[in-house]
Amino acid sequence: LTQQLQKDKATIEQQTDELRQLGRLKAQFFANISHELRTPLTLIVAPLNTIIKDNKLSQKVNHQLAIMQRNGNQLLRLIEEILDLSKFETHELTLQEKPVVFYTFLRRLFSAFESL
């Protein structure tokens, strides 16, 4: 019985190590993908910000550009959250909770679909 328990314990420890390694690989994968997405998105949003600041276009076009800017920035925030999640899983980042105004969150979410 003791031998079987030791064998089972060794198997569980091996599976635990494998799961940890798999978790590290998953976090690294998401970090790599996030970096690959962030670069071209940044290269889209930066010129868009310049065009909006120039303010030489019609109000209608500026409104559409503002929607594009807001959605691009939202994508950048989501990518940063994925990077933060990877850091959290590898214990490079600690969780800090903070309250949010739910109405503001919903308004920002719904405004993304305003043009539709």
d(CA 57, CA 63): 10
pLDDT in the model for residue 109: 80
Given this model, what pLDDT does residue 7 score? Answer: 93
- Spatial CA neighbour of 29 closest among 73, 77, 85, 78: 85
Which helix H or strand E contains 88, and what residues bound it? helix 59-89
Which pLDDT score is estimated for 25?
Answer: 87
CB pairs under 8 A, 24+ apart, for 15-23? 23/89
pLDDT, averaged per 10 consecutive residues of the chain (116 residues), comes to: 90 93 85 89 92 87 90 91 80 80 84 77
